[in-house]
């Protein structure tokens, strides 16, 4: 007995509201902070504040990319994309990670030039006030985006949010550096802080790119989610049911789980069908938005052991 079932349980995804409004919020915040940080740089002449403003430009480009990819990801499934378009979000997060690295290089070059030829910082107090205002804007927008990213399982919004939070901590570091220059008079502290900021930005960009690549490479679900799936299956093993070929992956906002369920060969199709219903309901209960593929096989059929790998092995009956 061999029965295959594909259960698409992504009703929440299909009804997921448009997330582009969050991208527009990020765009508005980026434009505002670029203006504020540029004013702060022009007032003080601080290269570390300039580095902060350059990163906000990257925020804007990243937000525009997120808007484009969220628009694509919202498209319904079609004949050419039967599983939808949600994977487009990985392109957004990957592009943003690359832009972060470009910004880090630009900041590093500017900081090295200023390290060689230091210049005084002017009107530190006013520049700090303006930068704090910009940082508060980024902080509140980042919190909104991060909450939406987790709620709707959107890697594009999550990447944008984490980038904005990196920007917040970058600004904190820059302000500390500018304040230290004002207190000590050592002008080279300013470009030194800018270089530290650049290193922090590089780390942030690398993490975002790694996560995007993992998604594009169909990486498995996180280990804690896999354990929860196995816990569901373990409860059925107590009744003599077995399973193998358990595979998981995440594609954008969608999760996929596939497995082979082995039952006694004397079971009826109706009995096996009921078991698969229970298993799928259990997986949906712990993962939520998930597409489950189940394959029912007989425990005493030698062919059941021939398809544990991704590509089915030669059936014993055909040897």
The per-residue pLDDT for 248 is: 92
Q: What is the mean pLDDT of residues 107-113?
A: 78
Low-confidence winner among 2-16, 88-102, 116-130, 292-306 (lowest mean pLDDT)? 2-16
> Mean per-residue pLDDT for 136-149?
91
Quick check: helix, strand or coil at residue 122?
coil
The end-to-end CA distance of the chain, in Å, is 20
The model's pTM is: 0.63
Contact status, residue 168 vs residue 135, Cβ threshold 8 Å: yes
Cβ-contact 66, 160 below 8 angstroms: yes
What pLDDT is stored for residue 133 in this prediction? 87
Domain boundaries, the chain: 15-216, 221-318
What phi and psi values does residue 260 have, to the nearest 5 degrees?
A: -105, 130
Least confident piece of the model among 119-123, 159-163, 260-264, 295-299: 119-123
Q: Residue 271: pLDDT band by 50, 70, 90 thresholds? A: very high
Task: Write down the pLDDT at residue 11.
Answer: 44
Higher pLDDT, 315 or 32: 32
Phi, psi of 50 (to 5 degrees): -65, -40
pLDDT digit string, tens, across residues 155-180: 788 888 887 887 787 777 777 777 77
What's the CA gap between 82 and 91, in Å, rounded? 19
Residue 71 is predicted with a pLDDT of: 87
pLDDT in tens, 20-56: 899 899 999 989 988 888 887 887 777 666 766 777 7
Write b or e for each residue in 125-155: b if 16 or more Cβ atoms lie within 10 A of its Cβ, otherwise e: eebbebbeebbebbbebbebbbebbeebbbb
Asked if residue 260 has pLDDT above 90, the reply is: yes
Kindly tell me if the per-residue pLDDT of 299 is higher than 50: yes
Instruction: Give 3-state DSSP helix, strand, coil % of the chain, rounded to 5.
Output: 65, 10, 20
Is 241:262 a contact under the CB 8 Å cutoff? yes
Q: Are 23 and 96 spatial neighbours (Cβ–Cβ below 8 Å)?
A: no
CATH of 221-318, one of 1.20.1260.10, 3.40.50.720, 3.20.20.140, 3.30.70.1350: 3.30.70.1350
Contact 152, 253 (CB under 8 A): yes
Q: Which residue has the higher pLDDT, 145 or 308?
A: 145
Q: Spell out the alpha helix ranges (H) of 85-123.
A: 88-116
* Statement: residue 123 has pLDDT above 80: no
Residue 241 — very low, low, confident or very high, per pLDDT cuts 50/70/90? very high
Among positive and negative, which fits the CA dihedral 14, 94, 148, 32? negative
- 291-318 burial code (b ≥16 CB/10 A, e <16): bbbbbbbbbeeeebebbeeeeeeeeeee
Q: What is the mean pLDDT of residues 272-298?
A: 90
Percent of the chain with pLDDT over 70: 85
129 falls in which pLDDT band (50, 70, 90)? Answer: confident
Q: Which range has the worst mean pLDDT, 3-17, 175-189, 255-269? A: 3-17
Dihedral of CA atoms 229, 235, 236, 241 in degrees, nearest 10, equals: 100
Q: Which of 200-204, 205-209, 276-280, 300-304 has the highest mean pLDDT?
A: 276-280
pLDDT at 283 over 90: yes
Q: Which CATH class is domain 15-216?
A: mainly alpha
Tens digits of per-residue pLDDT, 188-234? 777 787 788 778 778 878 888 887 887 777 778 888 999 999 999 99
């Amino acid at each position: 007995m061999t029965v295959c079932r594909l259960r698409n349980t992504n009703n929440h995804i299909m009804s997921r509201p448009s997330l582009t409004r969050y991208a527009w919020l990020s765009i508005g915040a980026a434009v505002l902070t670029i203006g504020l940080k540029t004013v702060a740089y022009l007032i003080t002449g601080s290269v570390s504040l300039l580095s902060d403003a350059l990163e906000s430009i990257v925020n804007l480009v990243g937000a525009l990319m997120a808007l484009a990819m969220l628009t694509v990801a919202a498209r319904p499934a079609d004949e050419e994309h039967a599983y939808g378009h949600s994977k487009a979000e990985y392109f957004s997060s990957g592009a943003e990670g690359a832009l972060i690295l470009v910004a880090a290089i630009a900041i590093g070059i500017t900081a090295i030039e200023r390290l060689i030829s230091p210049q005084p910082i002017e009107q530190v107090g006013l520049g700090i006030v303006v930068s704090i205002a910009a940082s508060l804007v980024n902080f509140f927008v980042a919190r909104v985006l991060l909450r939406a990213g987790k709620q709707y399982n959107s890697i594009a919004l999550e990447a944008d949010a984490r980038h904005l939070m990196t920007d917040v901590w970058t600004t904190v570091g820059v302000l500390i550096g500018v304040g230290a220059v004002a207190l000590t008079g050592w002008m080279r502290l300013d470009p030194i802080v800018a270089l530290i900021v650049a290193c922090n930005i590089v780390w942030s960009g690398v993490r975002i790119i790694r996560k995007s690549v993992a998604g594009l490479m169909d990486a498995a679900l996180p280990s804690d989610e896999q354990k929860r799936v196995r816990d569901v299956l373990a409860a059925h093993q107590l009744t003599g049911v077995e399973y193998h070929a358990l595979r998981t992956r995440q594609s954008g906002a969608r999760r996929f789980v596939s497995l082979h369920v082995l039952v006694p060969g004397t079971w009826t199709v109706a009995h096996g069908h009921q078991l698969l219903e229970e298993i799928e309901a259990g997986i949906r209960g712990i993962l939520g938005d998930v597409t489950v593929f189940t394959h029912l096989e007989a425990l005493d059929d030698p062919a059941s052991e021939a398809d544990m790998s991704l590509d089915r092995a030669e059936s014993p009956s055909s040897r």
